[in-house]
Amino acid sequence: MKRPYRNRTGQTVVLFTLAIVPLLGLVGLVVDVGYAYFRKEAAQTAADAAAEAAALAAYHFANGAPLTCAVAKVACYAAEYTCPATLPAPPATPSDNIQAGCMYARDNGFATAGKRKLTFQSGVGAAPTAGGVTISYWTVARASEEIPQLFSAVLGHPTMTVVARAATGARDGTSGGCVVSLDPTAPNAIGMTGTTSLTTGCGVFVNSNSSQAISLSGGGTITTTGNAKTEIVGNCSGCGNIHPAPLTGVPSSGDPFADMIPPTVPRTCDSGSLSFGSHESKTINPGVYCGGINLSAQSSLKLNPGLYILKGGISMGGQTTITGSGVTIYLQSGGVSMAGGASINLSAPSSGDWQGILFYQDRANTSTVTLVGGTNQAMNGVLYFPSSHLTYTGGSDTTATATTIVSKTLSLVGNSYISSASTTKYTGNAGGVVLIE
């Protein structure tokens, strides 16, 4: 009865021997794939850092001027340029922005040496790896490394090459515009109806990726002068009424005043709500006003220079007037409502903490804003309404202003003429480096 059992005693050894080969191969494959993934991530990190460093260096070398291949130390390579194995050691400065990218990758552990290679392409317009995306200046970095294989070596593949790529762009300080809408997806992010017009010497930028991010109907026109441009992340309806033709499919610029910190709001109020009767005139001083400011028809208000913190916003009836020089109005809550025929003549401070900032609506405040006055309306400074819809008209070309408009979405009513952007201590433009892919 025991003989059949003795005949099977070697079967386990045979089966184990047969199984051990694929098991070892599977382990080797897992090791190969895992190591390849690890080195791919390292190469991607190097490519990302190198491309960003090269684009950032180009932005700084341009120093606010338009980014072109003619700018000193800004290199353009239509064909791939390979970073040399020997680069200047710190604290030496790079000869151009591409060498800056090579040096940055080298200093962070990835250089052209042995089985590793770092290459660049660069230029202006559309990057070859991101068709349809137009940028002032782009860089494409590719990091590659040849790594050894275990299991695959048995099959005749002793090595494999991992490759990573990153593309970044530098937006020059003259691009981005002084009329900016922030909503990333909204149709009609900038809308115009009727025979309205916007003329600006400092450009328009629309962050919406909608196919109708700008909507012009009924003869509305946008005209940019000088080197200014109209740039749209998405596309436009009525593009033929934008002169010169807009740039579409550009990378998003985000909020140009993201670095602007709101003022500290005291717990106490200097005044409750203020209401002005018809034909009443008054001058007020900076402070915290709780409950809002309400102007009845044909009343007038003068603001002395300084910071006004409003809880409740401003309401202006027909034919009202508000004036002030060196003024910043911070809207912690409430918006601005302006009836037709109202006259507004305000200018921001020319120095100090709030230089150039005229209206600043808190980012948590979504109250709508209407700045639609008469033909003599003039607002010189930044109009910052990042979370709100703004309806705006800027008077006529006889009252050209130095104005920067930033809002979530924007409707233009009547004619507006902006000669230049407001000068501030904050970023205030769309210059800088953006990731393309």
Of 92-101, 290-299, 336-345, the least confident: 336-345
CA 233 to each of CA 129, 193, 361: distance values in angstroms, whole numbers, following the listed order: 17, 21, 25
Task: Give CA–CA dist 161/130, Å, rounded.
Answer: 23
The position carrying tokens 């705006």 is 392
Of 47-56, 185-194, 300-309, 336-345, the least confident: 336-345
Average pLDDT over residues 317-322: 86
What is the structure's pLDDT at 249? 83
Tell me the domain boundaries of the chain.
11-171, 179-429
Confidence class of residue 24 from pLDDT cuts 50, 70 and 90? low
What is the structure's pLDDT at 393? 81
Of 1-5, 112-116, 329-333, 362-366, the least confident: 1-5
Higher pLDDT, 108 or 154: 108
Indicate whether this model's pTM tops 0.75. Answer: no
CA 328 to each of CA 72, 307, 379, 396, 415: distance values in angstroms, whole numbers, following the listed order: 39, 5, 11, 23, 25
Strands annotated E in 24-176: 77-82, 116-126, 134-148, 159-171
Average pLDDT over residues 399-413: 85
What is the structure's pLDDT at 371? 87
Residue 120, pLDDT > 90, answer yes
The proportion of the chain whose per-residue pLDDT surpasses 70, expressed as a percent, equals 83
Is 159 in contact with 146 (CB distance < 8 Å)?
Answer: yes
> Other CB atoms closer than 10 Å to residue 293's CB: what's the count?
24
Confidence class of residue 398 from pLDDT cuts 50, 70 and 90? very low
Per the prediction, the chain carries an average pLDDT of 84
Residue 31, pLDDT > 60, answer yes
Average pLDDT over residues 258-273: 88
Residue 430, pLDDT > 60, answer no
Higher pLDDT, 10 or 129: 129
Higher pLDDT, 425 or 362: 362
What is the structure's pLDDT at 21? 56
What is the structure's pLDDT at 281? 92
Task: Give CA–CA dist 181/407, Å, rounded.
Answer: 5
Average pLDDT over residues 85-112: 91
What is the structure's pLDDT at 6? 53
Confidence class of residue 429 from pLDDT cuts 50, 70 and 90? very low
Task: Give CA–CA dist 304/274, Å, rounded.
Answer: 16
Higher pLDDT, 247 or 22: 247
What is the structure's pLDDT at 199? 87
